[in-house]
Structure 1
Amino acid sequence: MTQNSFFHFPARNPDETHRAATPLELMFDLASVIAIAAAAHGLAHAVEEAHAVQGVIGFLCSFFMIWWAWMNYTWFASAYDDNSSAFRILTMVIMFGALILAAGIGAVFTHERIWLALLGFIVMRLGMAVCWLGAARADRSRRRTALRYAGGIAVMQIYWIAFVAFVPPTAAIYLPLFLIGAAGELTVPALAERHGTTSWHRHHMIERYGLLNIIVLGETFIAITAMIQLDSGAAFPDADLLWLATLSATISFSLWGLYFTDEDHLASDELGHALIWGYGHFALFSAGAATGVGMLVMLHAFDPAAHVDLQTGILATVIPVAIYIATLWLIRDRIHLDGAGRWLLPVVAGLVLLIALTAPMALELIAVLLVATALVRRRLNRISTGNAP
């Protein structure tokens, strides 16, 4: 078997220097963001039609499918991307699956069988199974790990097909069975990696997750841009909407500033820590995208024909912000910070919710609080690394 044989992916060196995201990975992210935007659109429509609970459930289920396929590919690419034609072809197949998934997400919010979304998910996941078989051929020391990945992925696709085929979306057991399937998917890497950790690159993974975080926060930019758009014949944006856009941008920039600090997010390559960090980002990413949804709802509250008020829009924005901040504490600050500063983000998450529920001018106060929090968090980082002036 030669190193150049097709579907033969040797392990990369996890200590190589200057490892950065490739153009192919960035294009993969672009395919994922189309699916994320489709899920966000479904959530926004559900909230505006007073079906928030159903919308949130549909959003989280569809976002899980998107994020899980993205995450599996990203970790595999970090360990086995050899820039070969075979790897590029499989990546493009998986990307096409993401586009099919995006096209089918609408059915999640209309309580129809999600055949098209399932097809896209299966294309992505079986593409990954082939990738793992290629890794099993080339990386003999981790052959058992790779085969467990491939087998686990294949078994879970059988589960999803049976789930969609036999369980009506309106059945009471539909959501519990979906959650069982999600738990099964999450279990595959945890079991496979125990038999030999793959050679993923820690700093490469930190960069890849950071890039997707920028993408999900980009959902807020869509709302902010819509707030600033001119009405027909107007020479200047509506003053109220311009102020709303300013506050929304302040919140968005603050979330970016809270995430991107100088210390490494992923402190070690120990399996348990990596799983918490990797899996924990599901809540953070989904909350980032949902923040943009909330901003759109706030915008639509200014439409006299809309069936939503501004307070609903504020809550739809602020609740994801609080989840984003609390999750950032779970995956990073509880490990990196000591003393009272370690509890900054949980306290701020609670204050954000309290202000939204009780205070007048809540959005203004929350924007100021988040700016102050981002500045204090940056100061804490400098103190912890000994770089404070």
Structure 2
Amino acid sequence: MQDVMSQSTTIFTAWYRPMLARQAGEEHRAASALELFFDLCFVVAVAQASSAFEHELVSGRPGRGLLGYALVFFAIWWAWMNFTWFASAYDTDDVPYRLLTLVQIIGALVMAAGASAALEHGDFAVITWGYVVMRLAMVSQWVRAACTDRERRRSALRYAVGILVLQVAWLVRLAGPVDGGTVTFAVLAVLELAVPVWAERAEGTAWHPQHIAERYGLFTLIVLGESVMAAGLAVGAALETHQRLGAVLPVALGGLLTVFALWWMYFAQDAPRRLRTQRTAMSWGYGHYVVFAAAAAVGAALAVNVAHVTGDRALTDVQAAAVYTVPVALFVTCVWLLHRRAAQVSAAGNVLPPAAAVVVLSLTFAPFSVLGTGVVASLLIAGSVVIARREEEESGS
């Protein structure tokens, strides 16, 4: 009888474990296989949002497409970000944790299914339901944490209550007038952003700087890869129909140079050094909305410019160029701002990124804007490498 009880206890322990906070200074803290799977599923939603954004741009509706893309991407980014920070603080990896993560993945796929309707028709019903499914799963996770982590119970309960109340508000919003949709979305989005600020003012959660930096870096890498894939499909379609190959190749080359430079710039930073306090962590997390959204928009913009040079004239030359130059400039500027205080660079190195962003924006009114952007981005990386090498030599002498 005692052996049976011992075996039952072992099985239960493997199935369910107390959700206790992980150590913020834990060594060899790396992203788990479940987190990587979560990211890959989320990229489906990012790809759908980018594709719908591209469709709106090609159809000659840049204003409506931009607004819809910003709103849809907020839902995707915010749901991803909340899971990421929770998993950094609490990651029991037991059966309930995995099942609740699966529920969030299902919600992400529902969001992906509703991305086109949201951007093209302003219908946020499907994407809202997917978002609510994800967020209610997070409520369950925070309740688990509150039950077992007594030291941080108030923070966990604040997260659970704040998220739950807002999910009810999101569902109520669906019954409201369409004309007030953007206003109510903005209000609820601000309240969503306020929940972590309010919750962390209690005991705070024990997130891991290296783990957070790795998670954000991996998602940036995946989003940039999705941009390359979207651009590659557009270029491939143009090459198959033999449409103005001479015009397509500069766009393809400029896109490749740009994406490579954006990757280099992002991963040249020492992110864990930036994540020292709760305040800097908040600015880091929130600032990545622009980083992720801009990186995903680059792929859609490349596809739009390929269509533009092969004969699709729904946009003017300046509009097609702006669709590409603006997200690139935003990415460069935002990464620079996120790391500016933590990075130990000279005044010259600190001036390069904003100067490059200004030059990229000026290329909106120049011919071959995509290729020019790629060249400027490459020169930014080259200049940064030269300055860094010079500083190393000076410090070693």
Both proteins in one fold, TM over 0.5 = yes
Q: Distance in 2 between matches of 1:216 and 1:310?
A: 26
Deviations 1:70-124 (A, max 9, x none): 0000000011111211111111111111001111112212334322111110110
Kindly tell me the number of residue pairs found equivalent between the two proteins.
Answer: 384
Q: Would you tell me which structure has more helix in proportion to its own residues?
A: 2
Q: Distance in 1 between matches of 2:249 and 2:176?
A: 49
Query: Among 96, 99, 104, which residue is 1:89 paired with?
Result: 99
Q: What amino acid sits opposite 1:181 in the alignment? A: L
11-20 or 106-115: which moved more?
A: 106-115
Point out where structure 2 has 5 or more consecutive residues left out of the alignment: 1-8
Answering whether residue 353 of structure 2 is matched by residue 345 of structure 1, we say: yes
Alpha-carbon distance, 1:230 to partner: 7.0
Residue pairs, 1:4-83, within 5 angstroms: 6=16, 8-83=18-93
180-189 or 368-377: which moved more?
A: 368-377
Q: Is the 8 A contact 1:266 1:274 kept in 2?
A: no
Alpha-carbon distance, 1:279 to partner: 0.3
| Shift in CA distance, 353/264, structure 1 to aligned 2, threshold 3 Å | same
Q: Secondary structure of 1:196's partner?
A: coil
Q: Is the 8 A contact 1:326 1:345 kept in 2?
A: yes
Query: Among 158, 176, 198, which residue is 1:191 paired with?
Result: 198
Answering whether residue 292 of structure 2 is matched by residue 285 of structure 1, we say: yes
Query: Among 245, 259, 263, which residue is 2:266 paired with?
Result: 259
Residue pairs, 1:279-358, within 5 angstroms: 279-304=286-311, 307-336=314-343, 337-357=345-365
Deviations 1:136-188 (A, max 9, x none): 112110000000000000011111111121131xx1x3212211111000000
Q: Distance in 1 between matches of 2:205 and 2:13?
A: 19
Answering whether residue 210 of structure 2 is matched by residue 180 of structure 1, we say: no
The residue that corresponds to 2:177 in the other structure is 167
The residue that corresponds to 2:133 in the other structure is 123
RMSD of the alignment, in Å? 2.4
Q: Distance in 1 between matches of 2:198 and 2:237?
A: 50
Q: Is the 8 A contact 1:39 1:62 kept in 2?
A: yes
Query: Among 213, 235, 247, which residue is 2:220 paired with?
Result: 213
Q: Distance in 2 between matches of 1:160 and 1:269?
A: 33
Q: What amino acid sits opposite 1:179 in the alignment? A: A
Q: Distance in 1 between matches of 2:120 and 2:240?
A: 33
Q: Is the 8 A contact 1:266 1:277 kept in 2?
A: no
Instruction: State the structure with more CA Rg.
Output: 2
Q: Distance in 2 between matches of 1:91 and 1:203?
A: 22
The residue that corresponds to 2:283 in the other structure is 276
| Shift in CA distance, 366/115, structure 1 to aligned 2, threshold 3 Å | closer
Alpha-carbon distance, 1:265 to partner: 5.2
Q: What amino acid sits opposite 2:301 in the alignment? A: G
Residue pairs, 1:230-245, within 5 angstroms: 231-232=239-240, 238-245=245-252
The residue that corresponds to 1:138 in the other structure is 148
Q: Is the 8 A contact 1:42 1:106 kept in 2?
A: yes
Q: Distance in 2 between matches of 1:342 and 1:372?
A: 15
26-35 or 3-12: which moved more?
A: 3-12
Q: Distance in 2 between matches of 1:243 and 1:339?
A: 33
Residue pairs, 1:368-387, within 5 angstroms: 368-381=375-388
Point out where structure 1 has 5 or more consecutive residues left out of the alignment: none
| Shift in CA distance, 98/385, structure 1 to aligned 2, threshold 3 Å | farther
Alpha-carbon distance, 1:302 to partner: 3.4
Q: Distance in 1 between matches of 2:375 and 2:99?
A: 48
Q: What amino acid sits opposite 1:34 in the alignment? A: V
Q: Distance in 1 between matches of 2:320 and 2:225?
A: 18
